[in-house]
Structure 1
Amino acid sequence: MGWMVAAAVVTSLVIIWVSLHRFRQRHSHDPKTWPLVGAQLEAFRNFDGLHDWVLSFFSDRHRTVKMSIISGSVFFTVDPGNVEHILKTNFPNYPKGEDAHRAVYDFLGDGIFSSDGETWKKHRKVASLEFSNRKLRDFSTAAFREDALHLIEILDSAASSQKIVDLQDLLMRMTLDSICKVGFGVHIGSLSPELPDVPFGKAFDKVNEIVITRLFNPFWELKKALNIGNERFLKQEMKVVNSFTTDVIRTRRAELQGKDEGKPDLLSRFMAYDVGQPGAFDDKELRDAILNFVIAGRDTSAITLSWFIYCVCNHPHVAERVFEETVEVLGLQERTQTYSFEEVAERLSYETLSKMHYLHAALTETLRLYPAVPRDGKLVACDDVLPDGTRVKCGDRIAYVPYSMGRMEFLWGEDALTYNPDRWLRDGVFQPESPFKFASFQAGPRVCLGRESAYLQMKMTAALLLYFFTFHIVPGHVVKYRVMLVMPMANGLRVQVSRR
């Protein structure tokens, strides 16, 4: 008899919970919810297509949606007014938050992308000073040019042999080489002709892939404590990552010992900050800075270039216009002279690349539809009301969603799903949009410090690729994204390369 009473009580509680839960749902277009687990089950079921699943809940009328999960409420928004409120107007009320920090801590530690408060300010201050340094810009330009030429030589060989290549893999190798040079003055040669395995790069990618699952799995800490599943693999891969960074830091400290002038790479500059003073960076802080630089400077640029080539393969007229612009801006006599890879690359400077407005527009249009960071979440520190009237409570999480924002007709017009670089041009000159409408580089106090550096590398590489080659996606190759902290292609980008 007792078990029947207990069953009746449990049933009643579930019915009450479901009723109250449905009452709390603001709109019928919000994600489907279930007793006890909320929308967590639906999120897992749709994980491989997560960005499009979230997109499906938005419309011109419904710009903010609520998802109830085991750990609480998560809001997603595509409203530029809300984005400005979160990233700028009421910035202090929307930190990364302790839960998110804990989820990525094993990977990114207390670096600039995962920290809040004074820790974030310290990393931000030094990074801001260095990214505005002309010496770093010139050093970066030379590194980007050198690595782009290595890529061009590999592609030229592939074109001669009619070999199919995974362009995303090559671009990831190129940007890994670049960030290791610019970030911490190390040459690792992952883009050498033999394309060697790079343990650090492979481990970094695996950790990146696993960490994102923590944000949707309320039991990840239990799995970590038991050392099972993905958490066991993450622990193994982090040993490789940490071993690499430890060696780099130890070597650099030895190289700089007793020298008055450091090297131009970012690690050396961080080491020089407040040296001998209480504010100097210790090895743990330097390790965190290194890995944050890698995820910012390597993954995002390579991913954007991969999606860019995918877009121009589907819109060959864009590739032709980039080619024509390169010829014009660099003053090349295309019909009367053949130029070597090095001759064209040497003409691609910070100044000449800044005149290539159509290329800048084409890359920006790629970021609109395929943002390297498709969503960015914040914690609600105190109860608040967003500009669109949405009420959020202390402890809720809210994310603005660049992937969805780039597909909203109320923001971009009826052709929002069309790849069209001309939408960014007026009389041939690039016209930026509000960073709260085009939020691929964040905005407000956390706006991306490396934006100009990223465009510099992407434009230099893209100009060389499209000047010398044409690309065709291998028939039958499936292009789709992988759900991670960033948005790479799940199957790579397999292309056939031909000399122009």
Structure 2
Amino acid sequence: MEIVYIIFSSFSSILILITIPFSLIMLKIYFGKSIRNPKYAPVVGTVFSQLFYFSTLHDYLSDIARKHRTFRLLAPDQSELYTTDVRNIEYILKTNFDNYTKGDYNKDIIRDLFGNGIFAVDGVKWKQQRKLASLEFSTRVLREFSCAVFRTNATKLVRIVSRFAKINEAFDVQNLLMRAGLDSIFKVGFGVDLNCLDGSNEEGNSFINAFDDSNALTYWRYVDPLWKLKRFLNIGYEASLRKNIKQLSDIIFKLISKRREQLENQQHNIHKEDILSRFLVESKKNSEMNDQYLMDIILNFILAGKDSGANTLSWFFYMLCKNPSIQDKVVSEIQEHIGYQEIGSKVEDFVELINDEVLEKMHYLHATLSETLRLYPAVPVDGRVANTDDILPDGYELKKGDGVYYMSYAMGRMSYIWGDDAEDFKPERWLNDYGVFQPESPFKFTAFHAGPRICLGRDFSYRQMKIVSIALLHFFRFELGYKTRKVSYKTMFTLLHFLNYQYKLTDVCVYPHMDVISYCICY
């Protein structure tokens, strides 16, 4: 009887230890949030409720957005407003730009991974990095250098896919695109040949895995109320995150050291084709720009350069497989402006024909890439935090410290923004009656952000995607191997194409245009 009592007593103590903190957290979440006040956006749950829908989070938020253009999820210290209202988005990103910053809440979550990089800072540091990056992206040197790099990697991609196609061997299309994207951003951004695409650099493979895992694990913090405790104790996924970030740091610090040595050896003949070199030169004038700061900058540019291009291309080829008539139109446009090369012609000869003049004529390709970004934006959710109490254009009030997040993924699916065919893949929506591409307002099409912080690499990204897609679509035709299977994504800061191995989703067959029909399945 005594033993039973002791066990029961211990269980009661544990239950109390769990119940009291939980009750305090819930009280803090709901107290003082004006839940029933119509001046504030309707409450549909707490930030922690997202945990139950995490694997399909963006679709969950889209379902709510169909009922409420602006709504709230409650957090312990603030409310988090989510909106698809174009007026609100223009207001926080442009009209009242100075009142909306990254906020301490977001900075706390992303600081371990992105540190003081351009996506994680405001004020002086943001302006400093923005100015230097802007100078770099505006140079003709970068444009010519980047195009040469993109052509080189596109040629490598064609050769690799061709080998797989001829022997009917399985391969992973997205993985190839990720490798090519990483090679491109390392060469263009940091002047380094990573050689990840051809598989000769295992460090590159490790970098991709560590970076994507860190991306996903950091995003998980938004739904885990105990992440700070886990980080302090170095347990669970926080231990994995710390290990991954350490691995990334080691690789990047070595890269910085190598690039600095190269620049020192060049002395008066310093080549500044890449972004890192420009920042290294600037670091000599600014003592705050130490190696840690440079690492933060690099990680932020890798996020922008690798994920925006490679992720979008992955979704792009998937949508072409789902819509073969659209793929035929893109191929026809390529043949119209470049021509059809004879069997046996060199890949390099064709790729060299993809110049700026040709890219400017590719209106349908540009529209198809934009349509892909509309439905599958590289960054599905982004936002800001209010520095003072404010009232949004839709009339809802918010308090100092409240977050306002715009949902690019959800926006692309809203009929009240894009019409009744919003969920259809329709490149023609971007073309006028003469077949010329017509851009939309960046506050409606938010794939590249908007306002003063609009993405500097937008044209850079389009150029990369066009060169790669033209090369691959000229030599191969892509089809779905299992047409009834569906595709999902991995919930993280970027919309990574996720192959659900439980159902073996998204298998792609590749057919060379200029060879005997053979195919390979991509897992």
Whether TM-score is above 0.5 comes out as yes
Measured in 1, the distance between the counterparts of 2:385 and 2:29 equals 25
Is 1:121 aligned to residue 127 of structure 2?
yes
Aligned to 2:451: 444
Q: How big is the shift at 1:41?
A: 4.1
**SS at structure 1 position matched to 2:223:** coil
Cα distance change, pair 72–166 in 1 and its aligned pair in 2 (3 A):
same
Match runs of 1:77-476 below 5 Å? 77-192=83-198, 196=202, 198-257=205-264, 259-260=267-268, 261-273=270-282, 276-278=284-286, 281-330=289-338, 332-333=339-340, 339-426=345-432, 427-475=434-482
Cα distance change, pair 21–90 in 1 and its aligned pair in 2 (3 A):
closer
**SS at structure 2 position matched to 1:344:** helix
**SS at structure 2 position matched to 1:57:** helix
Measured in 1, the distance between the counterparts of 2:462 and 2:287 equals 32
Structure 2 counterpart of 1:119, which letter? Answer: K
Q: How big is the shift at 1:262?
A: 2.6
Q: How big is the shift at 1:381?
A: 0.8
- CA deviations over 1:36-92 (Å, ceiling 9, x no partner): xxx244211011111011111123x73111111334211011111111001000011
Structure 2 counterpart of 1:139, which letter? Answer: F
Aligned to 2:4: none
Q: 1:75 aligns with which of 81, 84, 98?
A: 81
Structure 1, 87-96 or 214-223: larger mean CA deviation: 214-223
Structure 1 counterpart of 2:450, which letter? Answer: A
**SS at structure 2 position matched to 1:407:** coil
Aligned to 2:517: none
Q: How big is the shift at 1:248?
A: 0.6
Cα distance change, pair 18–459 in 1 and its aligned pair in 2 (3 A):
closer
Structure 1 counterpart of 2:56, which letter? Answer: G
Measured in 1, the distance between the counterparts of 2:29 and 2:141 equals 61
Aligned to 2:510: 497
Cα distance change, pair 345–444 in 1 and its aligned pair in 2 (3 A):
same
Q: How big is the shift at 1:314?
A: 0.5
Measured in 2, the distance between the counterparts of 1:345 and 1:23 equals 59
**SS at structure 1 position matched to 2:511:** strand
Measured in 1, the distance between the counterparts of 2:183 and 2:93 equals 32
Q: How big is the shift at 1:488?
A: 0.7
Structure 1 counterpart of 2:162, which letter? Answer: D
Q: How big is the shift at 1:350?
A: 2.3
Verify the 8 A CA contact 1:163 1:496 in the aligned structure 2.
Answer: no
**SS at structure 1 position matched to 2:196:** coil
Measured in 2, the distance between the counterparts of 1:21 and 1:70 equals 10
Structure 1, 458-467 or 262-271: larger mean CA deviation: 262-271
Measured in 1, the distance between the counterparts of 2:278 and 2:31 equals 58
Structure 1, 287-296 or 256-265: larger mean CA deviation: 256-265
Structure 1, 229-238 or 22-31: larger mean CA deviation: 22-31
Q: How big is the shift at 1:196?
A: 4.7
Measured in 2, the distance between the counterparts of 1:16 and 1:315 equals 49
**SS at structure 1 position matched to 2:80:** strand
Q: How big is the shift at 1:479?
A: 1.3
**SS at structure 1 position matched to 2:498:** coil
Verify the 8 A CA contact 1:110 1:288 in the aligned structure 2.
Answer: yes
- CA deviations over 1:242-296 (Å, ceiling 9, x no partner): 00111011111111115222341110111122x5423673212211111111000
**SS at structure 2 position matched to 1:377:** strand
Aligned to 1:4: none
Match runs of 1:471-490 below 5 Å? 471-475=478-482, 477-490=485-498
Verify the 8 A CA contact 1:164 1:494 in the aligned structure 2.
Answer: no
**SS at structure 2 position matched to 1:112:** coil
Q: How big is the shift at 1:29?
A: 9.9
Q: How big is the shift at 1:239?
A: 1.2
Q: TM-score w.r.t. structure 1 length?
A: 0.91
Cα distance change, pair 267–29 in 1 and its aligned pair in 2 (3 A):
closer
Measured in 1, the distance between the counterparts of 2:509 and 2:485 equals 11
Aligned to 1:36: none
Q: 1:24 aligns with which of 16, 21, 36?
A: 36
Cα distance change, pair 161–92 in 1 and its aligned pair in 2 (3 A):
same
Aligned to 1:42: 49
Verify the 8 A CA contact 2:443 2:450 in the aligned structure 1.
Answer: yes
**SS at structure 1 position matched to 2:68:** coil
Structure 1, 486-495 or 450-459: larger mean CA deviation: 486-495
Structure 2 counterpart of 1:24, which letter? Answer: R
Measured in 2, the distance between the counterparts of 1:15 and 1:360 equals 50
Cα distance change, pair 177–25 in 1 and its aligned pair in 2 (3 A):
farther
Structure 1 counterpart of 2:262, which letter? Answer: E
Verify the 8 A CA contact 1:479 1:490 in the aligned structure 2.
Answer: yes
Structure 1 counterpart of 2:431, which letter? Answer: L
Measured in 1, the distance between the counterparts of 2:199 and 2:480 equals 22
Cα distance change, pair 457–16 in 1 and its aligned pair in 2 (3 A):
closer
Structure 2 counterpart of 1:494, which letter? Answer: D
Cα distance change, pair 414–333 in 1 and its aligned pair in 2 (3 A):
same
Structure 2 counterpart of 1:466, which letter? Answer: L
Structure 1, 66-75 or 310-319: larger mean CA deviation: 66-75
Measured in 1, the distance between the counterparts of 2:59 and 2:286 equals 47
Q: What is the alpha-carbon root mean square deviation over aligned residues?
A: 2.5
Structure 1 counterpart of 2:146, which letter? Answer: S
Q: How big is the shift at 1:217?
A: 2.0
Q: TM-score w.r.t. structure 2 length?
A: 0.87
Structure 1 counterpart of 2:219, which letter? Answer: I
Measured in 2, the distance between the counterparts of 1:263 and 1:40 equals 45
Verify the 8 A CA contact 2:41 2:396 in the aligned structure 1.
Answer: no
Cα distance change, pair 29–54 in 1 and its aligned pair in 2 (3 A):
farther
Measured in 2, the distance between the counterparts of 1:93 and 1:75 equals 15
Identity of aligned residues (%): 41
Q: How big is the shift at 1:20?
A: 8.0
Q: How big is the shift at 1:193?
A: 5.5
